[in-house]
Amino acid sequence: MGRIEKGQKCTVSGCGREAERSISADKVKAAGINVSNKENRAYICKEHYKEYKKKTKKDKTLDKWRYGR
């Protein structure tokens, strides 16, 4: 049983919703989302995950083209 199943809250500053995903804190910070914890993992809610996906879409597309996937 992981932290999300136990009821972990979103670690984005100013948000208190239930977390849906666990992503590397460095990747979330690189996308421009402010994370309030000092841990290696960032726990984000559904709305912030959607924002994260939108901000990283261009980078993922460029990596696909670069590596031919």
Contact 10, 49 (CB under 8 A): no
Q: What is the pLDDT of residues 15-69, one digit of tens each?
A: 989 999 999 999 999 999 999 878 899 999 999 999 999 999 999 899 999 988 6
Compute the distance between CA of residue 41 and CA of residue 44 in angstroms, rounded to an integer.
10
Give the pTM: 0.84
Which pLDDT score is estimated for 21? 94
Per-residue exposure over 8-20, b if at least 16 CB sit within 10 Å of its own CB, e if not: bebbbeebeeebb
Q: Where are the domains of the chain?
A: 1-69
